[in-house]
Amino acid sequence: MENGVILSGSANIYYELYGDEKNKALVLLHGNGESGKNFKKHIDILKDKYRLIVIDSRGHGKSEFGKGQLSLGTMSVDLINVLEHIGLDKVNIVGFSDGANIAMLTAIKNSGLIDKLILVGGNYNIHGFKPMTALMLRVGYMCASLSAFVSPINRFNKEYFSLMVKEPNLKRESLSVIKAKTLVINGNRDMIKTSHARAIADTIPNAELKIVDGDHFWIYREPEEACRVIDEFLS
């Protein structure tokens, strides 16, 4: 394993590299409030076949918050900067939850960068969440905002909730510019509506939808199955 830190804008972004650099490049993007450590089991399975790039998103894990508020758009820029630093101009991406949303934003603005794209539990706006989940997120954001007002140290929770409540805020048609072959994965008990996942797959020109038996965190609960699905799609 190699690791490194690069300055991207106002924040130092941490990344790890696994596997032979001659293998296909595969980026793993974690979800909200997580870090690259969440992919530990996947790394053990995939590192012998792929060149893995595992990034801690801005404000997560060993990466700094930097100045200003967290945003998925800034995290997408961080991703591009890491890949340029490593010297990669063509990659595959697996993104989970917010990681899937970062991957979508990256694919929209940098269509030539991504060969294949796997989106697990992603959404293009808050309406992708089931109603009760969306309500809980809004309540959580309000409570975190009040808490941050009382004590600045609680800023982190407010920032994390903001990413889910306010972002991404895309129009469905914006997904139609994504050129990468795409696999959209959603659990049959996911907090993301199946209809929303289907809308993503139907809008991206070269995409297919796979419904798996599991909840939102299927990719972590079933790492061996997840890696099998990933490998089959990339192969």
The CATH number assigned to the domain holding 221 equals 3.40.50.1820
Looking at the domain assignment, is residue 136 inside a domain? no
pLDDT digits (tens, 9 = 90+) for 51-110: 999 999 999 999 999 998 899 999 999 999 999 999 999 999 999 999 999 999 999 999
Mean pLDDT of 153-179: 92
Looking at the domain assignment, is residue 162 inside a domain? no
Helix, strand or coil, per DSSP, at residue 183: strand
Q: How far apart are CA 184 and CA 178, in angstroms?
A: 13
Residue 173, amino acid: E
pTM of the model: 0.96
| pLDDT value for 152 | 67
Q: How far apart are CA 175 and CA 204, in angstroms?
A: 5
Looking at the domain assignment, is residue 134 inside a domain? no
What confidence tier does 219 reach under pLDDT thresholds 50, 70, 90? very high
pLDDT digits (tens, 9 = 90+) for 120-158: 999 999 999 999 999 999 999 998 888 877 776 677 888
Task: For residue 97, report the phi and psi dihedrals to the nearest 5 degrees.
Answer: 55, -115
Looking at the domain assignment, is residue 23 inside a domain? yes
Q: How far apart are CA 109 and CA 59, in angstroms?
A: 22
* Residue 32, domain extent: 2-125+172-234
Q: How many domains does the chain have?
A: 1
Q: In 3D, which of 85, 26, 36 has the Cα closest to residue 58?
A: 36
| pLDDT value for 182 | 98
CA separation (Å) from 150 to 70, 99, 144, 145, 161?
20, 30, 10, 9, 17
| pLDDT value for 69 | 87
| pLDDT value for 153 | 66
Mean pLDDT of 212-218: 98
Average pLDDT, the chain: 96
